[in-house]
A and B are shown apart, each in its own frame.
Chain A
Amino acid sequence: MFSYILGRIAVLIPTLFVISVVTFIIIQLPPGDYLTTYAAQLREQGDEVDEVLMARLEQRYGLGQPQHIQYIKWISGIILRGDWGESMYYQKPVQDLIWNRVGLTFILSFTTLLFGWLVSIPLGVYSATHQYSLIDYIVTALNFIGKGLPEFMLALVIMWLVTSYTDMSVGGLFSPEYMNAPWTLDRVIDLLAHVWIPIVILAVGSTANGIRITRANLLDELNKPYVETARAKGVKEGKLVWKYPTRVALNPFFSTVGWSLADLISGTTIVAIVLSLQTTGPMLFTALINQDMFLAGSFILLLSLLTVIGTLLSDLLLVWVDPRIRLEM
């Protein structure tokens, strides 16, 4: 067990390294560099370009030096000093801008994940044990709709419906008065009143998929001899289904949680842009449009990083949940 965890962490380190390199490449891709764009912007606004500041920034990011030196300067700043660079657009250090948004993104994604499980496991079990029933058909139909209707389109449709039939504001995660307020109980309640719309939108696709997986696996499992044996021995139907076959059928949930997390973060990004939530999505988007590359890079790096760590945690969870995997080690 212990060696398994160590092994997983050992794999994690090169993965994180590759992620940081890929992110750096994305930062470097647009033509021109951060400083020339910045200087041009200042001149455009009629401001004077502070040569001392420019020289200092150039020194700090190793601009003009070979790529690998720039990379080392950038990544060591993050690891050693927690310095994520400067946002050109907001004229602020990146670390002052991102944490709130990254936190909200993760709260949103995790809540959606849990919500999806809470809905899809019971429905999946129900549609497997009641094959060809009305709910089974509805679930199958929903699954295909969920696959065909991308989240951002669903977000647009729901926004349109809500704005044309009610006077609620759908954009954002907070009412205007709580937008920049400190965290109080009222603010949390306000968040809860807004957050269900994106959660429902995000959960439709993954929930439908989850139901389908549970249903297919459970159907396979229910035909196995051990279920028959248990039934012959007089185990009650409810206990029979939930205690053994369901547990086996749920394994793919845990083993693919990393991918669903990655998918959810992707989905959250685009839905957040449509609904203008205060998560990473819209800020990443504007950062990319404005070529604010340190800010954009930080977001891509952090989102990938946290997804990879989330995957690791879920793998450990799988080991803990499934005795068969635990015993193999």
Chain B
Amino acid sequence: MVNHINQENQGSNLDEEERYLDIQQDQGSVAVASFWQLIWWRYRRHRVAVFSTFVVLIFYLVAVFSEFVAPYDPEAKFVKYKLHPPTQIHIVDADGAWRLPFIYQTVRERDPETFRNTYHENTAIRHPIRLFSKGEEYQLWGEVSVTTKLFGLDVPHEEQGFFLLGTDRLGRDMFSRVSYGARLSLSIGLIGVVISLILGVLLGGLSGYYGGTIDNIIQRIIEFLRSIPSIPLWMGLSAALPPAWPIIYVYFSITVILSLIGWTGMARVVRGKFLQLREEEFVMAARFAGSNELRIILRHMLPSFLSHIIATMTLSIPTMILSETALSFLGLGLRAPAISWGVLLQEAQNISAVAIAPWTMVAPAIMVVVAVTAFNFMGDGLRDAADPYAGL
């Protein structure tokens, strides 16, 4: 599908590239497009990847500003609204007139047989949804006092709650919890990848640059790590974390545990590139010109495969996110009161709860799937663009 779109759009993009080069030529200089410019041009052709980049950006914005995006405190329990389904947003009122988005007043009733709350709408009272609504004061990042939220109602929550993704069995707003969950879930991927990157570049670089015995040993280690089943190993390691540890310790330990295997992929890419570049003329030229090893690596070789490293990094973030989700889901990773998507899934795990209130599982599940898929598309586009000199 992607290839197909590429072919259609190739024409217009090429035009732009040609125009750019023409202008430069008109100015009397030699037409030059830098390496990163070529990469950018090629990346832009992958429309799905560009779209996914925006999705990923939005996810990270939500993670950074979760206090602002979340309408409520993620731990606030609205006892009146336990297992409330997602609030319906209307744009047409009961009389058939079009309006800006609004919700109706919720009426709660108790089923006399099951003692379960049922909720329905009272179409007589409307509550318009406001963007950048003013509400109670809260702390952004625990530092800045703010009263504005991304969206909300004019009335306080005692009067009417607005639950975009419903509430869980304790009456906590799922949308707020999912937004806060993005923080841990998405950052574990980033930090894990940075650790993998350091290990992978270091060991892969050693392996590829020196070859011989060092290469042999590192390759055996990589093969060994890849040939043992990761989930049982991770389960074993994370079960060994003391249960009394504070969240932040558990968080970093899990990241390190996930990186233990994650670095191998990075190391393979770096090693392959080193082996390939070592034989190139420009490296030999640099060596004859008297550059020392470090300079050759950092100044001549690194820029040539930096784009590949970025692509590999992007492709390994989703694996990290999924692994954290899986471990937390089993109760072996992060645990409540920490909020991550895996923890939310774990809370929704009970199959009968899912049957009554599917949104408690669907909300975090969709976040995971969308984030992971967006990262995969982004990585795919980056991988295709990483070598802009290769033929299409």
Contacts and interface: CB of A to CB of B under 8 A. Distances in A.
Interface of A: 11, 15, 18-19, 22-23, 26, 29-31, 132, 137, 140-141, 144-145, 147-150, 152-153, 156-157, 159-160, 163-164, 258-259, 262-263, 265-267, 269-270, 273, 280, 284-285, 288-289, 291, 296-297, 299-300, 303-304, 307-308, 311
B146 to A, nearest CB: 34
A29 B358 contact: no
Contacts of B191: none
A7 B349 CA distance: 48
Interface of B: 1-4, 220, 224, 226-233, 235-237, 239-240, 242, 318, 322, 325-326, 329-332, 345, 349, 351, 354-355, 358, 361, 365, 368-370, 372-373, 376-377
Contact of A266 (B3, B229, B355): B229
Counting chain A CB atoms within 10 Å of each CB, the highest count among B229, B230, B233 belongs to B229
A23 B229 CA distance: 12
Contact of A15 (B224, B235, B332): B224
B227 A258 contact: yes
Contacts of B229: 262-263, 265-266, 269, 303-304, 307
15 contacts: A11-B220, A23-B236, A140-B1, A144-B373, A152-B329, A156-B351, A159-B351, A262-B230, A266-B231, A267-B231, A288-B236, A288-B239, A288-B332, A299-B232, A304-B227
B355 A163 contact: yes
Contact of B369 (A148, A258, A311): A148
Contacts of B224: 15, 18-19
Contact of A19 (B228, B318, B354): B228
Which secondary structure dominates where chain B touches chain A? helix
Contact of A141 (B1, B230, B322): B1
Contacts of B322: 150
Given A26-B240, A150-B325, A285-B330, A266 B318 contact: no
A194 B8 CA distance: 47
B369 A164 contact: no
B237 A26 contact: yes
A269 B231 contact: yes
Nearest to A31: B242
A153 B345 CA distance: 9
B186 to A, nearest CB: 15
A132 B358 CA distance: 37
Contacts of B330: 270, 273, 285
A304 B373 contact: no
